[in-house]
Amino acid sequence: MILRTILAGLLLSAVTPWLPAAEPKEPKQTATKAEAKKEKDKPGKPPAHVCALNITWWEEPVLKEGESLELGILDGKDFKPIAIQTMTIGQPFEYTGGPNVVIARKTKVATVDKKGKPITSDEWVPFANFNITETETDVLALLMPATNTPTAIVKTFDIGVDSFPYGSINLLNYTRSRIGCSVDGAFFFAGPGQRGKLAKPIASRRVANFKLAVVEADGSLRPLVSSPMVLDQRSRRLYFVVEIPGAAEDARFRVNGLVDHVEDHAPPKPEEEAVTPKKADAKEPKKAVEKPTAAAK
């Protein structure tokens, strides 16, 4: 329980400079009566946000015996049930609505009817909420169960293919130290509260030596992960490194990651050999007729 509290605090307070800042508001302008009428007569405007939401647990919530957790996301005026897996980018939910995304939990509420008879009904109560920007079309929402309250903390990440293409490896650093990553000797780093990435995405399937390490104050490296890994152009990987204050020295850093794989992301096709067009009056060369050998007679 203490570990869950610490991790929740780390995710809530971590610096996320890669998230887009809010756009500055423009000064309001006074419209004329004609303009106001024209604006009023316009057909309904399309929703401000259309986004593919990928929602996943940081770790599966602990439930009491016999307790269930049913979540829904506000879509228009109704809540649509959603199924959430742990550290997985699964089937996205097509969200259409305002910039504030609301997730609720279905719960039993005890009330009484007009005759004073006790009854129970299902109601949606607030569980988590987060904001998305107009430029984000593919967002990963990471849910961290809170302690002592039936709610969750949410951190969001832009996972659009432009910023997070297939074949890439990203590293999110939630520690006070610098974290380094090596893929077959190709290094990249992420400072405290920053996001680092492999400079060149993987272009073909191969087995690579993957390493994660903490850069200590004296420049030495503290290994976190060191193992061979199968990489290819159809997968993209996102790793999180968190620091647990007060933990034993050999358990102070924790690594968690998820992999998104797509089957239909085929590599580029090889260029076809150029074929020289034949001239109109060119004749097909006659095939040579083989003469039978003495052995064949």
SS3 letters across 104-134: EEEEEEEEECCCCCEEEEEEEEEEEEEECCC
Q: Please report the pLDDT score of residue 292 as a whole number.
A: 45
- Statement: 165-265 belongs to CATH 1.10.287: no
Q: Looking at the chain, how many residues does it have?
A: 297
pTM here is 0.68
pLDDT at 62: 85
The pLDDT value given to residue 270: 46
- Per-residue pLDDT tens digits of the chain, which is 297 residues long: 544 554 555 454 443 433 333 333 333 444 444 554 444 445 555 555 789 999 999 988 888 888 889 999 988 788 999 999 999 988 888 888 889 999 999 988 888 888 888 888 888 999 999 999 888 999 999 999 988 788 999 999 999 999 899 999 999 999 999 999 999 999 999 999 999 999 999 999 999 999 999 999 999 999 999 999 999 999 999 999 999 988 998 899 999 999 999 886 555 444 444 444 444 444 444 444 444 444 444
Q: What is the pLDDT of residue 91?
A: 83
Listed by start position, the domains of the chain span 1-17+47-160, 165-265
Within the chain, strands assigned E span: 49-57, 71-75, 78-82, 85-86, 93-97, 100-112, 118-131, 138-145, 152-158, 169-174, 178-183, 186-190, 195-197, 206-215, 221-231, 235-243, 253-261
